[in-house]
Amino acid sequence: MSKKSLAMVGACAAAAALTLTACSEGMGGDGETGDILRFSLNQTEEHPSYIALDHFSDRLEASTGDRWSIDIYPNETLGAQAEALQLVSDGIIDMAVVSGAQLANLNQDFTVYNLPQIFEDVPHQMEVVNEPSSITTDLFTSLEDSQNITVLGGLTQGTRSVYTTFGPVETPDDLAGKKMRVQESSLNIAMAQALGASATPMAFGELYTGLQSGVVDAAENNEVSYFTQKHFEVAPYFTYTNHLVGLDYVIINTDTLQKMSDDDRELFRQEWAETWQEHTDLWEEATQEAVQGAKDGGATFTKIDTSRFDDRLQKLADQSITTDFQQALWDDARRQTGQD
């Protein structure tokens, strides 16, 4: 049995345990009988993504007169993001949040929005991905034929920084010989190396134990995940390397989206627009609360001069663009900063 089939069996078993009954049929219905969109999320119920998506469900139900609603399964209940991606593609579940790293494994062009230094800040990122130009729309529909996946838009991951079990890091030299957990993609492996560490790809849900047991010495993420996943308990040194404004995507099975009536699809898109805006509004406060919560739990937050990291990351960004389409995506995003 292939690795992929094994992952599917595991995920279907998890789904069955949750009395999701249709492991061989699509879950999205025709919107006539009150259809429920099964949604996989790897965050906790305290995370802004869960809160905003939960409100998405409430509003969708109200605006479509109960024809459509969303059931969110948080905490990797339906599997890690790699499995969730496959389940959406196969129509076993309908929707998921997946990090840019996961989509880059299906289409390298997604790497561009994962590059260090493409987005100035969260508002710039949200404008590029949620008020999409035609080239961004081409990217977001690029998986429809091959994977049956449509990208609805993005939720920010805020700015990602490094945290460790052993102490603050001032320069890339401090990470030499250290193992850093990364998301599972070639760009993320190269990024850890650019930061000075050696890379260990690992699913998000395995990271707490990975840090606790010493399988890895470091990781990188935003303050919100650092706190809500309790990583501060086992890696109490957070250093502001600010190496990436990270991006999550909300994806939906293309057949499910097509099954909606035109009116319901329009309502769905309108409620989605409210959702990413609410998520962005929640983000800053959640970040402040996370920092305070982690400090209360004993973590330290260190600000540094990031120039030695920045130089290496700029080189990585330059090397990672290899096609005209990728260059056009980069140029289009940078044009929206008004600076390049």
Name the one residue in this structure whose structure tokens are 């401090």: 174
Shortest reach from residue 205's CB to ligand GCU, in Å: 9
Token pair recorded at residue 281:
């509004």
Q: Output the smallest distance, CB 272 to ligand GCU, in A.
A: 17
Q: Which is nearer to ligand GCU, 193 or 261 (CB)?
A: 193
Q: Quick one: 235 or 267, whose CB is closer to ligand GCU?
A: 235
Alpha-carbon torsion, ordered 218, 221, 225, 227, to 10 deg? 50
What is the nearest approach in angstroms of ligand GCU to the Cβ of residue 82?
10
157 binds ligand GCU (CB under 6 A): yes
- Phi then psi for residue 88, to 5 deg, are -70, -45
Q: Residue 295: helix, strand or coil by DSSP?
A: helix
Closer to ligand GCU by Cβ: residue 204 or 272: 204
User: Which residues are CB-neighbours of 257 under 8 A, at least 6 positions away?
Assistant: 28, 150, 265, 268
Among positions 239-268, residues that touch ligand GCU (CB under 6 A) are: 248
Decide: helix, strand or coil at residue 198. strand
Residue in 183, 280, 320, 336 binding ligand GCU, rule: CB under 6 A? 183
Residue type for position 255: D
- Smaller CB separation from ligand GCU, 68 or 237: 237
For position 81 contacting ligand GCU by CB under 6 A, the verdict is: yes
38 closest CA partner among 82, 100, 80, 97: 97
Query: Minimum CB separation from ligand GCU for residue 64, in Å?
Result: 27
Nearest CB to ligand GCU, comparing residues 161 and 225: 225
CB of 178 to ligand GCU, least distance (A): 17
The bridge status of strand 300-303 relative to strand 95-99 is unpaired
Does an H or E element contain 63, and which? Answer: helix 48-63
Q: At what angle do helices 186-195 and 307-320 cross, to 10 degrees?
A: 150
Q: Which residue is it, tokens 């006539």?
A: 32
Q: Which is nearer to ligand GCU, 42 or 64 (CB)?
A: 42
Choosing from 114, 130, 225, 326, the residue that interacts with ligand GCU (CB under 6 A) is 225
Q: How far is the CB of 114 from ligand GCU (least distance, A)?
A: 12
Task: Examine residue 99 and tell whether it contacts ligand GCU (CB under 6 A).
Answer: yes
Which residues ranging from 11 to 70 are in contact with ligand GCU (CB under 6 A)?
Answer: 42
Least distance in angstroms from the C-beta of 184 to ligand GCU: 8
Residue given tokens 């449509």 in the structure block: 150
Query: Which residue carries 């400090």 as its tokens?
Result: 295
**Where along the sequence are the contacts to ligand GCU (CB under 6 A)?**
42, 81, 97, 99, 157, 183, 204, 221, 225, 248
